[in-house]
Structure 1
Amino acid sequence: MKTRTLGKTGPQVSMLGLGCMGMSDFYGPADRGESIATIHAALDAGVTLLDTGDFYGMGHNEMLIAEALQGRNRDQVEISVKFGALRDPAMSWIGLDTRPEAVKTFLTYTLRRLGTDYIDIYRPARLDPAVPIEETVGAIADMVKAGYVRHIGLSEVGAATLRRAAAVHPIADLQIEYSLISRGIEDEILPTCRELGIGITAYGVLSRGLISGHWTKERAGQDFRAMSPRFQGENLDANLALVERLRGVADRIGVSVAQVAIAWVAAQGEDIVPLVGARRRDRLVESLGTLDVTLSADDLTALSAVVPKGAAAGGRYPEAHLAHMDSEKTASQH
């Protein structure tokens, strides 16, 4: 397994990480046995980075990972956890809480559910507009000093917030959506991360399955993707047409659509670690095949030609969500 280091101060991790969210939430029912088998297969293949959130299934995902790690060497795995998102019993979103007291309370639950003494990377899921980022990062820094957290990460924040956070404590990585059809970070966020020595863990590298090469119109409307503008109506038609153009390049290279899409993200810099959200072993095997794919300059040019920047139809989240996301705000709005 090839490795990459997350930023100047972060851990060395496998070149691909496993995003575990879909095993508990958002994408319809998942098979518990297959989920655990998939985590085991990832670990056996040398994947060391497991990504989760305490609100994925409201604790379910953390307990699933704990079960999968039984009998394994904890120190050979990096567990990345997001916190702060609030939900009600109907699983609806009801806000954020990243106050220092909440940081420490959420962390305590997470440590218990995961059955571990420490979290490798701990990060607020979003910027809480009611709490200065300095207070949140300061509280996690307290937990670093106390030994409960190894590294601090952030998620979906903009350049100005990155600077403020990094002034309090070194930030290992920024977790943010990045794919062939979601390239907004290239303008301001990615250059700022590189200036500050902050790595990127890229989620949504297959745009929630949209550019995996496996998505069909018949699957629309069955889970939380139904509210995503990119999966709706004419947008979906346009985006699936993009995927077919992508397939043409993938076929010429001799790889699958998913492999070329993941490889493109990995090729954007040694400081970027793509997270793959495989819920089944067959999808994991396909994703791991990316490690054998080296895209030439000609391949990258061809990919840019068939999927130019800004080519996707529809936003990556509904407008109401984007309005609250710090990463979507330009410097002039801060």
Structure 2
Amino acid sequence: MNLVNQKIITAQELSGFGLVENLNDQAIALVKQQQKKWDLARKNYQALTGMQTKKFNFGHFKIVVQHNPGRIRSSAAKTDAKSIAERPCFLCYENLPAVQKGISFQENYLILVNPFPIFPVHLTIPHRSHTPQRIQNFFPDMLKLNRDLSGFTLFYNGPKCGASAPDHFHFQAGNTGFLPIEEEFELLENQFADIIFRNSKITVVAVENYLRRFVSLRSSDLEELTAVFNVIFELLPAKGEPEPMLNILCNYQQNEWRVVIFPREKQRPSHFFETGEKQIVVSPASVELCGVLILPRNEDFRKITQNTLNEIFDEVTLSKYDFKHWTENVKDNLKSNMYY
């Protein structure tokens, strides 16, 4: 038996931990199985029940701040090329803990339990190959995976947008209903969005009045979604990086995908690099942009303010000017080609 097969857990093995009729059921059963078999996972999932949180109300949306000490390894992760080269990849199968098992998806991915959870059910889904974190060629996989994991919201963190393993391609997933944006999206789309493009297959809108500017795509057509995503992706400012800086949220409900794209300005806010009392260890990724800010240090949790939240998101997300320029380019491009 090869190493990959040793890491795969079967539906029969999971049947003692819940329903296994589909991939969604199996993923939930996997979390239960791993909590029973893996001390680290059990400890950290139990800690979630006593996690401190507080909410900041911005009128038509909210930001939830979670004090989560276990996330320090992600928030403070060194993601420079030298640090990455000097450490073993923790998503490669040969480096996974012996007790960690996963579910195979289309023979290209292994669905794993994230042992440092934010969500009550938190998954990490690495590609079987050690290939860099680059979304464009794998975007259709995100849609297919989310279709089978319809009880989960999938997200992608770019290599300099919150991914603590930028050298190994992966998605993450959390149980649907946890992120504030999921509750707020209908209001945002109906009252605060500008339509960029619409045809019989897809609707594309832009939202600015949300502290974090984003573009969303709604469609039940995988090929149309992929084609329009590629147009949007290609028009994002690359800023000298291998791929444009972005975070992506994907949700599949009632036979329709909703994809939210957050363009980014930089990886971390200035607060991260301060010293002493001024420092706040925060590294915004998809979860933060969707309304749950993770702070691993208690002192940061105590002193965070609404004004500081404004500063953090203003620094890391695309500026109003650049966002407007980008969305206008997207609108012109989509209207001038076959998608109109």
Normalising by structure 2, what TM-score?
A: 0.29
Q: Which has the higher strand share?
A: 2
Normalising by structure 1, what TM-score?
A: 0.29
Q: Which has the higher helix share?
A: 1
